[in-house]
Structure 1
């Protein structure tokens, strides 16, 4: 019996490859099974990340450190610098303001006036001497010297010849405002004096200083046995103010039966105030 011819061994069958999904790219095919004598078609090797790109010390310098947070480092230095500049500018503005308003003793518009130590002898009230010739032996006087204000004050008792008691009073005061302009307050006080005090008449006076006001009151109604007469002339010249006031009070016990009229008194105030302002200039 003859031996049938041997068939050459057949090559092992390769497992069918996994069909590709229409949406799966070729480089992402799953790996082929191993263990067969003849491997199937090789898949491309997966791409590996560059180990030098992310780890320091392999030829690439480490990433630069992050800058300082806001408000530190250079930013803080600049903030301090600008704060110092701002303080310097503010100080300069403050100094300029003081200079313009007379805060350093400069800029005060005093017009050359002085406040004497004794205004009783430094002021002129000669217009009243004919009516009241007797001298006051002990007048009241005082002064104030301050970087903000120089002030001199005098109060006199006026007596007629033969009078045992005071027949009238005369007061004078000069103020040199060295720090602030007294203009607005002066105007508010004297221009509106009749509004804040009843029974007083106020009228502006021209030709004396920058502004002047005459304030008067007469409650005697022509009688010399009761009532009073009062007059004040207030003057502002620059930052210097001057007031001169007259007052007389009548009663049945007074020896003065013929006091001066209010018109006469206001005329004397104007004359003597002009003369005094000239004398007070250095």
Structure 2
């Protein structure tokens, strides 16, 4: 006689099963700011491209912890007055949860993200102003790199291009520009912590606050050029205006610049960055 097939054991009650763990959104990478000599790494994004800039201090877009548990509803015995008290308590809980959800989704109870009227261009290479550099580098880059991102929490437009002196076959220096519209999270605390303290966490760099552009701005620089033998020259201007951030970075490596060419001084470069960053921000919010 054949043995009847065995039935699989019954599954446990639903309450015994582990809930699925929601995936957290990935933080945008910000690799180490010091690229190897002879190679250029443009500024980031906040989206997978290598760049000089600080390591990402954490995911500023992760969702906050879950809401506090709803307090138990106390049964009130009696007539209409008791039911009125009960429904008032339930209504207060629902209204509180709805208000909290609105705060988390819009970034604040007073109107959401403070974007100051800025808009991300389809191509940062044509949207940004870098005319101060064209006197030193009149040759155009025939194939600049540009990317853009439009998501509910973040909009970004980025450009990286080579700067060429007259007669140069290859880039003599590099420039990158990046605009970020933070639509879900105020970037101010992390922006200040990252750029204001950059020199204290990155050996060999200088940090200087810059007045007159945005709500706050910092100039990060490093100059290791010694005569005509070698070294590099690097400068980033980081600007925050409301919930909008703008990064503009210049870098050169003397080994690829050519001994017959004198690179611009750091003072000249930082002046160009300030002038063009102001012009770009004005253009992108008009």
TM over 0.5: yes
- 1:250 deviation in Å? 1.1
TM-score, reference length from structure 1: 0.68
Over 3 Å counting, the alpha-carbon distance change for 1:156 and 1:134 in structure 2 is: same
1:229 aligned residue (226, 230, 233)? 233
Please state whether the residue corresponding to 2:200 is helix, strand or coil: helix
Quote the offset at 1:155 in angstroms: 0.2
Aligned residues: 211
Larger radius of gyration, structure 1 or 2?
1
CA RMSD of aligned residues (A): 2.6
Contact 2:257 2:263 in 1 (8 A): no
Residue 134 and residue 146 in structure 1: after superposition, are their counterparts in 2 closer, same or farther (change >3 A)? Answer: same
Instruction: List alignment gaps of at least 5 residues for structure 2.
Output: 1-73
Q: Distance in 2 between matches of 1:252 and 1:80?
A: 76
Where relative contact order (Cα < 8 A, 6+ residues apart) is larger, the structure is 2
**1:95, distance to aligned residue in structure 2 (A):** 4.3
Describe how 1:165-244 pairs up with structure 2 within 5 A.
Answer: 165-221=170-226, 223-244=227-248
Give 1:152's aligned residue: 157
Q: Secondary structure at the match of 1:224?
A: coil
CA shift for structure 1 position 83: 5.7
Q: CA deviation at 1:256?
A: 5.2
Is the 2:106–2:184 contact (alpha carbons within 8 Å) kept by the matching residues of 1? no
- The unaligned stretches of length 5 or more in structure 1 are 1-69
Task: Name the CA shift for 1:86/1:102 in 2 (closer, same or farther; >3 Å).
Answer: closer
Displacement after TM superposition at 1:184 (Å): 0.6
Q: Deviations over 1:45-70 (max 9, x none)?
A: xxxxxxxxxxxxxxxxxxxxxxxxx9
Deviations 1:193-237 (A, max 9, x none): 11121100000000111100000000113x233110000111111
Distance (whole Å) between structure 2 residues aligned to residue 196 and residue 72 of structure 1: 60
1:258 to 258, 262, 272: 262
TM-score w.r.t. structure 2 length?
0.67
Contact 1:103 1:179 in 2 (8 A): no
